[in-house]
Copies of this chain bind each other. A is one copy, B any other.
């Protein structure tokens, strides 16, 4: 019978639902970037803002707050004359890094592959 229903392997169920819930913490479009830059060490609000070109203050704040609430980052206010705030990954936050890096790695690979394919189309074209 060629039409048997295959079982799903499911050694462990993935995130059910829209990857949200568990991954809500990493859900925002910019969140991975934030965590990635924070993985290099503590960083201030304005530094992150220039690190991540294109992100708005609003979104940066939002994401940072969420991450803080989730316990992934620590927020420390330095009572200096020009107020400065330092953000830092917590232990839990550090645990997210490998996943982020895996994503980033794949992203780069995909990009290269795509670029190479495009070049081939222009150059040698069909074999």
Say yes or no for A125: interface residue by CB 8 A criterion.
no
**Copies of this chain present:** 2
A/B interface sample: 30 pairs, CB < 8 A: A5-B47, A6-B41, A8-B37, A8-B40, A8-B47, A9-B39, A10-B40, A12-B108, A14-B33, A14-B36, A14-B100, A15-B32, A15-B33, A16-B54, A17-B54, A18-B29, A18-B30, A19-B31, A20-B29, A21-B107, A22-B106, A22-B107, A22-B111, A23-B103, A26-B103, A95-B109, A99-B99, A99-B103, A99-B106, A103-B103
The 8 A CB mask of A93-117 against B (1 = contact, 0 = none) is: 0011011101111111111010000
Residues of B within 8 Å of A17, CB to CB, are 54
B19 in contact with A108 (CB, 8 Å): no
Residues of B within 8 Å of A95, CB to CB, are 106, 109
CB distance from A99 to the nearest CB of B (A): 4
One of B23, B52, B106, B110 near A16 (C-beta < 8 A) = B52
CB distance from A20 to the nearest CB of B (A): 7
C-alpha spacing A110/B41, complex, angstroms: 22
With A23-B103, A99-B99, A99-B106 given, is the CB distance from A33 to B53 under 8 Å? Answer: no
